[in-house]
Amino acid sequence: MADFDLITWLKERTTLTVLSAEVLEAIALLMTLITVEANQNLAVAGTSPEGLYIIKSGQIKSHGQVTPEVSLLPGTVINLSALILEQTVSETLKTLSECELWWITAADFQSLVEQYPEITQAFSQQLAKEVEQLSNALSFEQERQTILRPYLVPKVKRGVMGKSRYAVKLRSQIQDMADNRQPVLIFGEPGLQKDNLASLIHFSSPFRREPIIQVNCSQLQGSGAELFGRVGGKLSLLEALGNGTIVFNNLQELKPELFKPIAELLSTRTYQPVSREGEAQAAHKTSQGRIIIISEKNLPSIDGLVENIIKVPSLRVRKTDIEDSVNYYISLICRRRGIAKVCLSDEALRRLQAYDFPNNLRELENLIERAIIQLQGYSEITEEIIWPSQSKKQQFRFNFLNAYPSLRNFLRSQWYPERLNYGFTLTAFAVVNIILFVGPQTREQNFALNLFWAWWWPLVLIGFPFVGRLWCAVCPFMIYGEVTQKISLWLFPRQLQKWPRQTAEKWGGWFLWGLFALILLWEELWDLKNTAYLSSCLLLLITAGAMICSTIFERRFWCRYLCPIGGMNGMFAKLSMTELRAQQGTCSAECSTYQCYKGGPQKGEGLETEGCPLYSHPAQLVDNRDCVLCMTCLKACPHRSVELNLRPPGIELWTTHVPRSYEVALLFLLLDAVFLHHLPQVQAQLGIFADLTQFWIHLGLAVLALSLPALLPVIIHQVMGVFLRFQSTLKPRSFIELAYGYLPLVLAGNLAYYLQMGLGEAGRILPLTLATFGFSGEGLPIFVAHPAVIAFLQSTLLIVGVLLSIILTQKIAKLPFRYLLFQHLCTAILAFCLGKVILI
């Protein structure tokens, strides 16, 4: 480039244009064109300048300690201020590509400055303006920091801990939100540290060097003056924020009058400073900041304005993350308290995972800190030290398996129920049926018939309030079904059919109800209680159903959906004071195989099993209906999650219960059955003297006995509904919900009926056994109760049944006593009628 062209280029393309032509010519004469390769430092902050550089071509990056990183353009003059003021370089300069530079040594430039005072004068004025600008900027920054300081978030507290799919998704969402500047709504339950997630979004973004402030919406003025500013007043938060991030915490607590301006800010990024009364409205201003909203509930007026939404999952669905969170809190708290790091026992972890944590991470952190304080020198946090508040599902529960390890060992052994079933029940059931067929045909002569009607029925009914469906674990119907299934698969290898669940759920209950009704009619019309071979036919008929279903479907389809005895057992088991459940937290956090449900090989403590025979997962049970207490899940579980609990009797009926119409029909069928069993007494009370030896007359009266008593509760419920509509705005529960209130009375009525045989005939079993085989039983002890004692116990049962039914109805309905008076009266009337026919 000629000297004239160089002077022209300096005047048009550089900041040296303020100098005269004479000075520019002097500078041009001393300039040398040099080439610098990429990734070379031209200057390093804090060092003396080597000379004056002017970029002719190429890319150079400038970065200072307080200034952001920028790229310099051709024509930029480098080190001018440092050379004139004789200071060190304030910025580091690095070439990004091969660059051509005009260069004057520091000594030559100092000579020019001394020779031409014009250089110092011209750039001193420019530097003065820059100083003034810097001073103004410093004053603004000081005012800005003063305004923002009470709201500043200095750093991120922690990252998202855990390896669950929820934690992975949450981290991915945070990164996605960090890459754009659109408003974000973070939504979730209390205690999830949503403000920390907002900080993570900001500090992961390209604007991480900008400030982030957090505003508690409940503390904002109704006018919004601190947020939007006042006309002629100091800077507002939004104006002071600049390109930073503002977090509106707990937006659900925002004053109603501020929702509209916040909505405007979200939709248009503009806001209007607050004007005093009588002043003109201020012009709208534009906010450059990033907006993040934190809320604990849906806000329809705001939700539609925000596209980026993060729904933070609660800790109860992130059980697998609890261990990582606990380890983090232990490290944090121990370091803060200056003590050695402690550890958490496996049992304590399982207890934490079994808890739902309504206050989420905040509650977990407080709980761990409290446990560490209680340690007092010990190095392990054990189960005894962890004491979270119990959830409603776990309240009033006592786990037998933890209290009695020997019971756990027995229930996990081969003795229960496999050896008991295949070593005793299988053979005993066959022997009983043979004796029923070939032995004497009346209860006074056949001990097997006595066992069935005078022993089995009373004991099963007595067992319901204590052990639920325990009988089903040793039931011979099911055992023969399993044997048939195994033999059929051995003879004809095949894949058994899956359960038609939808059809079975819809119609299975009505099938067993109809089958039970037919059995009751058969029992009454053909006097099964006093006819041994017919009683055997009844047992074999139910066994045949189990065997047929077992050859078609996998596991115990008959037991769950079609067995009439199983349907009765499942219904009355809801009154039991024991339950089998599993810790949902432990199952969701630690289990990935579901061996208790699906079956599988041995794993850790878990034994090899074929899975639950009723396809029930213990962690998902809401009542006792579908659990036969076979303990397959206890044997299969490798995590000690299964619990056998003592609980308030029938608690599920007013907490987690799901009513079913066919079950209500079965309930009233069993109520009617008590009247059917006392048909002669019913006739006597009503003054009817029909000839029950006539089949069709007997059948007609039996059908009426199985129908009419159940109409009374239906009619009473309709009357109660009309009364409530006129007397109160309260809406009564549906009939199928309230009908379960009669369950204790129905159980008491059936037990009162069978108590007559249990206390009057069961004690004759010893002489009766010898008589069955043709021997004399004289001299053998007989244990029978006096009729007056039996009558007293029957009366007591009915009275207790009434009281428990009233209490249960109150629990289910959750209404004042006077609103349920009609149903309570109906309960008393039914008990009175039962007493009249049973106690004759």
Residue 394 pLDDT > 70: no
User: Of 268-272, 377-381, 416-420, 782-786, where does mean pLDDT reach its minimum?
Assistant: 377-381
Please state, rounded to an integer, the average pLDDT across all residues of the chain.
88
| Alpha helix (H) residue ranges in 270-321 | 300-303
Query: What count of other Cβ atoms lies within 10 Å of the Cβ of residue 370?
Result: 13
What is the arithmetic mean of pLDDT over 248-263? 88
pLDDT band at 2 (very low <50, low <70, confident <90, very high): very low
**End-to-end Cα spacing for the chain:** 131
Q: Are strands 99-105 and 91-95 parallel, antiparallel or unpaired?
A: unpaired
What is the arithmetic mean of pLDDT over 802-809? 96
- pLDDT at residue 374, rounded to an integer: 72
Over residues 526-557, the pLDDT tens digits come to: 999 999 999 999 999 999 999 999 999 999 99
- pLDDT at residue 390, rounded to an integer: 52
Over residues 326-376, the pLDDT tens digits come to: 999 999 988 888 888 888 888 788 878 878 888 888 888 888 887 887 776
pLDDT band at 1 (very low <50, low <70, confident <90, very high): very low
For the ranges 138-152, 299-313, 510-524, the maximum mean pLDDT occurs at 510-524
pTM of the model: 0.66
Which residues lie across from 381 on neighbouring strands? 344
Which residues lie across from 343 on neighbouring strands? 380
Distance CA 620, CA 625 (A): 12
Amino acid letter, residue 644: L
Q: Is the dihedral of CA 95, 100, 106, 110 positive or negative?
A: negative
Contacts of 6 (CB under 8 A, 6+ apart): 28, 31, 102
Contacts of 289 (CB under 8 A, 6+ apart): 238, 241, 242, 243, 244, 245, 246
| Alpha carbon of residue 160 to chain centroid | 19
| Alpha helix (H) residue ranges in 31-90 | 80-85
- pLDDT at residue 544, rounded to an integer: 96
Residue 65 pLDDT > 60: no
Distance CA 720, CA 712 (A): 12
Contact 836, 685 (CB under 8 A): yes
What is the arithmetic mean of pLDDT over 59-75? 74
pLDDT band at 726 (very low <50, low <70, confident <90, very high): confident
More reliable by pLDDT, 694 or 840:
694
Over residues 683-718, the pLDDT tens digits come to: 988 888 888 889 999 999 999 999 999 999 999 999
- pLDDT at residue 236, rounded to an integer: 84
Distance CA 177, CA 603 (A): 42
Over residues 164-178, the pLDDT tens digits come to: 888 899 999 999 998
What is the arithmetic mean of pLDDT over 422-430? 95
User: Of 5-14, 430-439, 445-454, 631-640, where does mean pLDDT reach its minimum?
Assistant: 5-14
Residue 626 pLDDT > 60: yes
